[in-house]
Chain A
Amino acid sequence: MSTRIFGSGIKRREDPRLITGEARYTDDIKLQGALHMAVVRSPYAHAKILSIDSSAAAGMPGVRAIFTGADIGDLAGLPTAWLIPDSDLKTPEHPALASDVARYVGDGVAIVLADSRYQAQDAADAVMVDYEELPVVVDPHEAAQAGAPQLHDDVEGNIAFRWVMGDREAADAVFEAADVVVSERILQQRLLPTAMEPRAASAQYNAATSELTLWCTTQNPHIHRFIISAVTGLPENKVRVIAPEVGGGFGSKIPCYPDEALVSWAAKKLGAPIRWAETRSENYLTTIHGRDHVQFVDMAASNDGKILGVRATVYAGMGAYLSTAAPGIPTILHGLLYVGPYTIDNVFCESIGVMTNATPTDAYRGAGRPEATFLLERMVDKVAGALDMDPVALRRQNLIPPFADGHEVATTLIYDSGDYEAAFDKALAMAGYDDFRAQQAQALQAGRYLGIGVTTYTEMCGLGPSQVAGAVGFQGGLWESATVRVTPTGKVQALIGASPHGQGSETTLAQLISSELGFPVDDIEVIHGDTTETPMGWGTYGSRTTPVTGAALAQASRKLKEKARALAAHLMEANPDDIEYADGSFSVKGSPDQAQSIQEVALMAHLAWNMPEGMDPGFEESQFYDPPNFVYPFGTHIAIVEVDPVTGSIDLQRYIAVDDCGPQINPEIVAGQIHGGVVQGVAQALCEGVIYDDSGQLLTGTMLDYCLPKADMFPNFELGETVTPSPHHPVGVKGVGETGTIASTPTVYNAVLDALAPLGVAQIDMPLTAAKVWQAIQNANGGN
């Protein structure tokens, strides 16, 4: 493996087109004669639809058609595609348009198709819907109580599933016998994913060929093809899904949404191309939200600091319908992480999926794992407090010792590799932990409140073995495939089934291929996002594209390299065993003047004038790759904060992140992923949070009220790394797209609570806004 390109922090080739505005997104694609769709959305969180009168709207300028739920009987409801087993799962019907009952503010009840987007919206406003309001519940814990308003007739008590991990009695016995048990009700507030590009979908149906093309903002065009085929009844080979440039997703562009089904249906129905793009207001109302857990958590420990068990009951808000992957998030991707990097032998999780009159939730960056890591890290700090131990010493005492090839933990996962203490020590050294504690004590004398939070984490990503996917009810595989295609002039097209949308994978994967095959990185193009052009793949999420697609590309490249070696040997009339390879050139051992470049070999493979016996012409290889296990990145994050007790404002002064994702193909892109992840995770701790009022109205419906993180909230991040390869991966890499989000929320939360400890504040629900911090200080000292 050439070390020059693998590990080089070259600039992202995606950036020029993104920065200059030249990138072509779904809504940039103009379709001749297109109609524009506007969706009439329920202004009520729960209401019977008594009647819909579209007569006035139908006569408005430019209006071509108006459809309600009653008109779309041949469009099937949106499916839920993660059917977790042994959980008494109910999957309520999710029609593309509500026809009897609207169940959240933003639920679609009609669509208007018009010549312009303005005309469509004017007419949508003129569609008269007569509603009868019904009682509303938005809190998942309240929704699970007897007497709560019911959302769906076939989901009794609003409980969509009840998933249990571990043995309750065994766990309870450990807790009863333990020296110390700490408990907390943890609120994992709802978050808005807020991709820079809102969702959009355009569809065109060609009646002559019976083919539907759907351009849409998706992280997984092949899954979208499958679902659009299923809901429209069009055969899968007649559906082409194209993800043009996609401006971020953070998980929110995994699900298949009603809007995408509706443009597909209407394009066929009306014989005209249909365009739709959501406004930011619609994005906040109807694109999935993340998190929304009410957790009741206990941790048990012995007096000498051994963590004995974790036990949690989780009420996970699903919103009004079960989104595509929603049931898997607070269960499989959550409970299985309860051991973290620690030697904890007893874990128990009961996760209850609850329907509420709110926007559906689904995967949001980290998806289940941030919610697990937070509760673990919060409870470790609480145990330290209860035992009057240094939280760093407590963590060190409980870390799993280093392992290079497999370590089974109590949740049944087999971690691939880890050296947690190395990352821990490095981060503590960078932070100057011991010195900080002295500074903190000094500052307190001067009336200043400094705090430090330390998180050690591991997580599972690079989803994942398909056999596991099947066992946990995921209605798909989790392998990836890739084709490495070399043209006669030695230029490379790498076709992948995954669908990057901001991660820099076009750069990273080109570097990987270059390092395997010796083609210059600038001669390698990575092509993705079109079900007709690219081989099958399950998509970009779960920090899986570099690990899984990367492995497929590495193996396809290696097949090509072996073919090249054999052909080069044949062309140079040498024994293949005598061929040496270096930097894209094959030479004969002992005769360095005799050499064939990879480009020369590729050309000869295409010409096929002189092939070895039995070798096929051409220079292209494909590979399906099903990972044998997840990958488990890990690390330690540390935050230092100062709290102004007068205003409750928090100043994040330092942030140290030491992450281990194995060998880094492009350290700059890794750093970018960590920066972005940390920013999103810190924002959950400090400022982001959906607020609904009691009637289910979204009070944080614009960026005036919903607080996205801003650059001036952050210090320069101090990054470090350790390198522990994954033993089962062709190049040893692990995913790093979500680690920042997973680790940073508890890090900053614990730092703030550490700062507030002298004031007697022990708990505040996230986000830690100045007002809540101030109120907690008032409450703790009686307002004095």
Chain B
Amino acid sequence: MWPQQFDYQRADSIAGALAAIGADGKFLAGGHSLLPAMKLRLSTPDQLVDISRIDALRGIANGNGSLSIGGAATHADIAASAAVGAACPALAQACGMVGDQAVRNFGTLGGNIAHADPASDPPSVLVAVGASVTIASADGERTVGAEDFFVDLFETALDDGELITSINVPDLSDHQMAYVKLPHPASRYAIVGVCVALMMDGDTCGHAHVGVGGATVKAVKCAGAEAALAGSSLDDAALSAAVAALSDDIGEWLTGDVAYPEAYRSAMAGVFLKRAISAAKG
């Protein structure tokens, strides 16, 4: 576990960070995805620009019907945030399932999604609820929808030198929602993770948001399953239809390995969709 030689700088501001970053540099926040990769020499940046102490990147605020979560807010802060708990409790749940307490105390949501591990928990929530990501660079700022942000396995819409300044999450406090996962017994990453947010009108589901990760190379928003649930009373027939639709939704992106093959993950995505709905309904 001996990383290749690199330079280290600490930035005090977003502008300072953007000015400092070099062509082969990386931003360092919590370091819980980047440093292990560097120690294994899977990642060999020649420069780290530390953004973990930039206050402007750490805040969590709710305004205008949307949560704004700083790119360097930690999983622990998000999991414990009353604002997140009210507006998007599934995100708080998902952030509370990342790693262990020590990891959550350091690891940041921005770092998490920049790494884009397919088995990470928060991305399923972000794509399900239609979150967006605000990205800054020397050229200015842009905002990308979560679905477009996650491109492929460990691949995002981020370009070199770009910094995630905030993650913007719609206020869904009028929804019932949950994130549930089947953890890998070794890593506790998701073999499959499912986020469901339901807009209930009495016993009828007005609409549903569904996102899946773990089983897929990237977090996937499941429009077919959402459609199957919308307007239903979430009865067995609707659930079966949603499970079938989910299978199509994720089919293109399905992944697996020797220990947990695609067939298993696909089946479990359906199982955990039902469990997520059940958890969301309370």
Q: Please state if A647 and B268 are interface contacts (CB–CB under 8 Å).
A: yes
Q: Which of A707, A708, A771 has the most CB of B within 10 A?
A: A771
Contact yes or no, B185 A687, CB < 8 A? yes
CA distance A625 to B2 in the complex (A): 46
Measured CA separation A481–B69 after assembly (Å): 66
What is the bound-complex CA distance between A703 and B99, given in angstroms?
13
Known contacts being A121-B2, A647-B271, A705-B186, is A769 close to B259, with CB within 8 Å? yes
- Residues of A near B187 (CB, < 8 A) are 703-705
| Chain A positions within 8 Å of B271 at CB level | 646-647
Q: A125 on the interface (CB 8 Å rule)?
A: yes
- A279→B2 contact, CB < 8 A: yes
Residue of B nearest to A278 (CB): B1
- Chain A residues positioned under 8 Å from B41 (CB to CB): 125
What is the interface of chain A, defined by CB distance below 8 A to chain B?
A: 38, 117-118, 121-122, 125, 279-281, 646-649, 686-687, 691, 693, 699, 702-708, 710, 713, 769-771, 774-775
Q: What is the distance, in angstroms, from A781's C-beta to the closest C-beta of chain B?
A: 14
A704 in contact with B189 (CB, 8 Å) = yes
Q: Are B1 and A280 in contact (CB under 8 A)?
A: yes
**B260 sits at the interface (CB 8 A):** yes
Picked from A117, A702, A770, A775, the residue with its CB within 8 Å of the CB of B182 is A770
Contact of A691 among B1, B5, B258, B261 (CB under 8 A): B258
- The 3 tightest CB contacts between A and B, nearest first, are A707-B186, A704-B187, A121-B2
Q: Contacts A646-B271, A708-B186 hold; do A771 and B261 have CB atoms under 8 A apart?
A: yes
| Minimal beta-carbon separation of B267 from chain A (angstroms) | 7
The CA-CA distance from A774 to B267 in the complex, in Å, is 10
Distance of A703 Cα from B189 Cα, bound (Å): 12
A122 to B5 alpha-carbon distance, docked (Å): 8
A699-B4 contact in complex given A125-B41, A705-B187, C-beta closer than 8 Å: no
A-B contact pairs, 16 of them (CB 8 A): A118-B3, A122-B4, A280-B1, A281-B40, A646-B271, A686-B185, A693-B258, A699-B257, A702-B40, A703-B186, A705-B259, A713-B185, A769-B259, A771-B260, A771-B264, A775-B264
Q: Are A774 and B264 in contact (CB under 8 A)?
A: yes
Knowing A125-B41, A707-B186, the reply to whether A691 touches B267 (Cβ < 8 A) is: no
Q: Which residues of A have CB within 8 Å of B186?
A: 687, 703-708
Contacts of B184 in A (CB 8 A): 704, 707
A693 to B186, CA, bound (A): 19
Q: In the complex, A646 Cα to B187 Cα: how many Å? A: 22
Which residues of B have CB within 8 Å of A693? 258
A383 to B97, CA, bound (A): 44
Which B residues are in CB contact (< 8 Å) with A280? 1
B residues 25-44 near A (Cβ < 8 Å) are 40-41
The distance in angstroms between the C-alpha atoms of A775 and B267, with both chains bound, is 11
Q: Apart from A691-B259, A704-B187, A705-B187, list 13 A-B contacts with CB within 8 A.
A: A38-B2, A118-B5, A122-B4, A125-B4, A281-B40, A647-B182, A704-B186, A706-B186, A707-B184, A708-B186, A769-B259, A774-B264, A775-B264
A121's closest neighbor in chain B, by CB? B2
Query: Residues of A contacting B2 with CB < 8 Å?
Result: 38, 117-118, 121, 279
- Residue of B whose beta carbon sits closest to that of A117: B2
| Number of A-B residue pairs having CB atoms within 8 Å of each other in the complex | 62
Which B residues are CB-close (under 8 A) to A38? 2
Q: Hey, what's the 0/1 contact readout for B234-266 against A, CB within 8 Å counting as 1? A: 000000000000000000000001111101100
Residues of chain B lying within 8 A (CB to CB) of residue A281 = 1, 40
Q: Which residue of B lies closest to A689 (CB)?
A: B259
Q: In whole angstroms, what is the CA distance A656 to B263 when docked?
A: 36
Min CB gap B254→A, angstroms: 14
- In the bound complex, CA of A417 to CA of B127 (Å): 65
Nearest CB of chain A from residue B260's CB, rounded to whole Å: 5
Tell me how far the C-beta of B186 lies from the nearest C-beta in chain A, rounded to whole angstroms. Answer: 4
| Shortest Cβ distance from residue A236 to the other chain B in the assembled complex, whole angstroms | 35
A35 shortest CB reach to chain B, Å: 15
Q: Nearest residue in B to A713 (C-beta to C-beta)?
A: B185
Shortest C-beta distance, A125 to chain B (Å), equals 7
In the complex, the chain B residue whose C-beta lies closest to that of A701 is: B40
B3 to A, closest residue via Cβ: A118
Closest Cβ of chain A to B183, distance in Å, is 10
Report the minimal beta-carbon distance from B226 to chain A, rounded to whole angstroms.
23
A705 to chain B: which residues have CB within 8 Å? 186-187, 259
Partner of A769, one of B260, B263, B267: B260
Q: How far is the CB of B57 from chain A (nearest CB, A)?
A: 28
Min CB gap A496→B, angstroms: 34
CB of A752 to closest CB in B, whole Å: 14
Cα–Cα distance between A71 and B227 once the two chains are bound (Å)? 69
Complex: how many Å from CA A118 to CA B2? 6
Which of chain B's residues have a CB closer than 8 A to the CB of A125? 4, 41
Cα A706 to Cα B186 in complex, Å, equals 6
Give the complex CA separation of A704 and B186 in angstroms.
Answer: 5
A693–B271 alpha-carbon span in the complex (Å): 29
Enumerate chain B residues within 8 angstroms of A771, measured Cβ to Cβ.
259-261, 264
Chain B neighbourhood of A691, CB < 8 A: 258-259
Looking at the assembled complex, report how far the CB atom of A697 sits from the nearest CB atom of chain B, in whole angstroms: 11
Contact call B182/A769, Cβ cutoff below 8 A: no
Chain A residues with Cβ under 8 A from B261's Cβ?
A: 771
Per the bound structure, the CA–CA distance linking A691 and B268 in Å amounts to 23
Residues of the A chain whose Cβ atoms lie less than 8 Å from the Cβ of B185: 686-687, 707, 710, 713, 769-770
Between A693, A699, A705, the greatest number of chain B beta carbons within 10 A of the residue's beta carbon is seen for A705
Closest to A775 in B: B264
Q: How far is the CB of B30 from chain A (nearest CB, A)?
A: 17
- Tell me how far the C-beta of A112 lies from the nearest C-beta in chain B, rounded to whole angstroms: 12
CA distance A649 to B41 in the complex (A): 34
Q: How far is the CA of A707 from the CA of B258 in the complex (A)?
A: 14
A687 to B4, CA, bound (A): 33
Contacts of B1 in A (CB 8 A): 279-281
Interface flags for B101-130 (1: CB within 8 Å of A; 0: not) read 000000000000000000000000000000
A648 to B263, CA, bound (A): 13
**Closest CB in chain B relative to A138 CB, distance in Å:** 13
Give, as a whole number of angstroms, the nearest-CB distance from A67 to chain B.
20
A466 CA / B107 CA spacing, docked (Å): 55
Chain B residue numbers with a CB within 8 Å of A118 are: 2-3, 5
For A704, list chain B residues within 8 Å (CB). Answer: 184, 186-187, 189
B72 to chain A, nearest CB (A): 24
**Complex: A230 Cα to B169 Cα, angstroms:** 68
Query: Could you say which residues of chain A place their CB within 8 Å of the CB of B4?
Result: 122, 125
**Closest Cβ of chain B: how far from A412's Cβ, in Å?**
41
- In angstroms, Cα B1 to Cα A125, docked, is 13
- Please indicate the chain A residues that have their CB under 8 angstroms from the CB of B258 in the complex: 691, 693, 699
Question: Residue on B with the closest CB to A279?
Answer: B1
**Complex CA–CA separation, A305 to B4 (angstroms):** 65
Closest B residue to A686 using CB positions: B185
List of B residues within 8 angstroms of A648 by Cβ? 264
User: How far apart sit A710 and B186, CA to CA, in the bound complex (Å)?
Assistant: 9
Complex Cα distance, B258 from A117, in Å, reads: 35
Q: Which residues of B contact A713 (CB under 8 A)?
A: 185
Bound form: Cα–Cα A699–B258 in Å = 9
- Among residues of A, the one whose C-beta sits closest to the C-beta of B187 is A704
Complex CA–CA separation, A707 to B191 (angstroms) = 13
CA distance A134 to B14 in the complex (A): 53
Find the A residue at minimum CB distance from B41.
Answer: A125
Residues of A within 8 A of B3 (CB): 118
A683 to chain B minimum Cβ distance, whole angstroms, is: 10
Q: How far, in Å, is B160 (CB) from chain A's closest CB?
A: 24
The digit string for B135-169, where 1 denotes a CB below 8 A from any CB of A, is 00000000000000000000000000000000000
Within 8 A of A (CB), among B151-208: 182, 184-187, 189, 191
Measured CB to CB, the nearest residue on chain A to B192 is: A647
Chain B residue nearest to A707 (CB atoms) is B186
Closest to A38 in B: B2
B167 smallest CB distance to A (angstroms)? 25
Q: How far is the CA of A280 from the CA of B187 in the complex (A)?
A: 15
Interchain CA distance A536-B212 in the complex, whole Å: 61
CA distance A146 to B182 in the complex (A): 43
- Complex Cα spacing A691 to B264, Å: 18
